[in-house]
Amino acid sequence: MRRPRVRLVLRPNWETPFFRGPQVRDLIAQRVDELQVEAIRRAPRRRRSRPAPWNAVSRNIKSIMQRTSEGWHGIVSVEPNPRARHALLQEDGFTDRSGREHPGRRFLKEALYKMRID
């Protein structure tokens, strides 16, 4: 008995309807929210400040969901407020005006490492 031949044809952009679906949106939203929580948990905090001020790093980490022509994309934005831009200085380190170096804390990198999928 002969088996029928099957021909698999993949057309360009065959995956686009799948990536635009609500299941993918929910899955990406869940992972982005987990990443946001982890980044907030690892963010540096001031020692003697209760409650945290408006420009604290942990108050300026937001998650954003966008739908493009390819599908859903999730973004974790650090300090979208242009008046509070010191999280990346704490992430990478900096040299102050007197020449003293401050090492980076790498809190965002550690949060991304924890949330990666192997």
Sequential DSSP letters for 52-91? PPTT-GGGGEEEEEEE-SS-EEEEEEE--STT---HHHHH
pLDDT band at 99 (very low <50, low <70, confident <90, very high): very high
Residue-wise pLDDT for 19-77, tens only, equals 899 999 999 999 999 999 998 888 887 777 678 777 778 888 889 999 988 889 998 88
Give dist(CA 108, CA 82) in Å, integer.
19
The reply to whether 34 falls in a domain is: yes
Give dist(CA 61, CA 36) in Å, integer.
7
The mean pLDDT of 10-14, rounded to a whole number, is: 84
pLDDT band at 88 (very low <50, low <70, confident <90, very high): confident
Residue 85, domain extent: 17-115
pLDDT for the residue 31? 92
The reply to whether 3 falls in a domain is: no
The reply to whether 12 falls in a domain is: no
The reply to whether 2 falls in a domain is: no
The reply to whether 41 falls in a domain is: yes
**The total number of structural domains that make up the chain:** 1
The reply to whether 98 falls in a domain is: yes
- pTM, entire model: 0.73
Give dist(CA 41, CA 37) in Å, integer.
6
